[in-house]
Homo-oligomer: A and B are copies of this chain.
Amino acid sequence: MATRAGEGDPVRGSGARTARVRSGDDTRVPVPQRLMAAATRLFAEQGYDRTSVQEIVEAAGVTKGALYHYFGSKDDLLHEIYGRLLRLQQERLDLLADRAAPVEERLRQAAADVVVTTIDNLDDAMIFFRSMHQLSPEKQKQVRAERRRYHERFRALIEEGQRSGVFSDATPADLVVDYHFGSVHHLSSWYRPGGRLTPQAVADHLAGLLLRALRP
Q: Max chain B CB contacts within 10 Å: which of A172, A212, A215? A: A212
Task: Check A179 against B209 for contact (C-beta < 8 Å).
Answer: yes
A197 / chain B contacts, CB cutoff of 8 Å: 175
A50 / chain B contacts, CB cutoff of 8 Å: 49, 134
A49 / chain B contacts, CB cutoff of 8 Å: 47, 49-50
Question: Looking across the interface, which residue of chain B has its beta carbon closest to that of A186?
Answer: B182
Task: Check A175 against B130 for contact (C-beta < 8 Å).
Answer: no
Q: Give the docked Cα–Cα distance between A42 and B35 (Å).
A: 32
Q: Copies of this chain, how many? A: 2
Q: Give the docked Cα–Cα distance between A205 and B187 (Å).
A: 22
Task: Check A133 against B178 for contact (C-beta < 8 Å).
Answer: no
How many whole Å from A166's CB to the nearest CB in chain B?
14
A208 / chain B contacts, CB cutoff of 8 Å: 170-171
Asked if A183 is an interface residue, CB under 8 A from chain B, the answer is yes
How many whole Å from A213's CB to the nearest CB in chain B?
4
Task: Check B47 against A205 for contact (C-beta < 8 Å).
Answer: no
Question: Chain A's interface: helix, strand, loop or mixed, by majority?
Answer: helix
Size class of the A contact interface (CB-based, 8 Å): 35 or more
A176 / chain B contacts, CB cutoff of 8 Å: 209
User: Pick the contact of A175 from B129, B189, B206, B213 — CB < 8 Å?
Assistant: B206
A214 / chain B contacts, CB cutoff of 8 Å: 212
A175 / chain B contacts, CB cutoff of 8 Å: 197, 202, 205-206, 209
Question: Looking across the interface, which residue of chain B has its beta carbon closest to that of A147?
Answer: B189
Asked if A181 is an interface residue, CB under 8 A from chain B, the answer is yes
Asked if A162 is an interface residue, CB under 8 A from chain B, the answer is no
A189 / chain B contacts, CB cutoff of 8 Å: 129, 185
Q: Give the docked Cα–Cα distance between A182 and B185 (Å).
A: 7
Residues of chain A at the chain B interface (Cβ within 8 Å): 47, 49-50, 129-130, 133-134, 168, 170-172, 175-176, 178-187, 189-190, 197, 202, 205-206, 208-210, 212-215
User: Nearest 9 pairs between A and B by C-beta?
Assistant: A182-B186, A182-B183, A49-B49, A213-B213, A182-B182, A209-B213, A179-B183, A212-B213, A171-B205
